[in-house]
Amino acid sequence: MEKITLTGAQETMLATLYGRAVDSGRPLSVLHDDEAKRAVDRIDYDFAKTGMNLTSAVGVAIRARVLDDWTREFLARTPSCTVLHLACGLDTRAHRVERPDTVRWVDVDMPDVVALRHKLLPEPGGDYRLVASSVTEDAWLADVPADRPVVAVFEGLSMYLTQAEGHALVRRITERFSSGELLFDVYGSWGVKLQRLVPAVRNAGATLHWGVDDPAEIEAVHPGLTTVDAWRSVDLPHVEALPRAGRLQMKVVSAIPKLRDVGKLLRMRW
């Protein structure tokens, strides 16, 4: 068993890992993330600390499924490309998303997380690199060739950055590569204000900083950056996979303007 010593924002990745594992054990699994289940079984950690219930677990799986599907669509259109999976944590996207040999896949996270990935997850096949670095540093990106279009996927990252860090990250990627897409989730300003109501954030002692209410804020970071999709969390597909209580909860949240904008998934292109 692998003892976990992560704290703060890094500890919250255990909540999403656990959510995907819970979903994988259901007959109506959204994600079928069997690697997540195997990883959870090897971790010595009190997953009750995540506050993850069945509704929130399936919600995590739905969010990951949409980002996976958007990634697949990009790879189908642009089979010779680079995938940047930022703050990858213990996410198994590199295992879940099928890709041709012409795809270069780069997972990036902090050194202690990378060390944990080596212990818990098998090496994905194909042209794959695992980079130990903060995504806010410059050096790792300079080492990635800019010879192909890029799709940058970052899940559960933006809200832990400051606005300045978030803008700088978007700017570095869009300026280095001539074309591509950004696939990521954001909290709205009300989501940041209500962060203490999120058990995984509260129990890990993490802090959310950056709330995005209008994608135009991010479009302004780089000329030609446009929003292709902006889906509220309450409007995502696969809602039928939620337990009955979760479906009712979504209906209630959808009817309250400030709450229905708490979270979004964005697909942006330049």
Do the Cβ atoms of 186 and 266 come closer than 8 Å? yes
- Residue, of 261 and 48, whose pLDDT is higher: 48
Tokens representing residue 132 in the block: 């130990």
Tokens representing residue 254 in the block: 């959808």
Band (pLDDT 50/70/90 cuts) for residue 249 is confident
pLDDT digits (tens, 9 = 90+) for 117-153: 999 999 998 999 999 999 999 999 999 999 999 999 9
Residue 126: per-residue pLDDT: 93
| For range 249-263, the mean pLDDT | 81
pTM of the full structure? 0.94
The single-letter code of the amino acid at 5 is: T
Residue 246: per-residue pLDDT: 83
For the chain, what's the residue count?
270
Domain 2-269, what fold? Rossmann fold (3.40.50)
Q: Where are the domains of the chain?
A: 2-269
What are the residue ranges of helices labelled H in the chain?
8-11, 13-24, 34-41, 54-77, 93-96, 111-120, 139-142, 163-176, 189-193, 199-204, 216-219, 244-254, 257-260
Q: Taking 90 as the threshold, does the pLDDT of residue 50 lie above it?
A: no
Locus of tokens 């058990």: 199
| For range 46-66, the mean pLDDT | 93
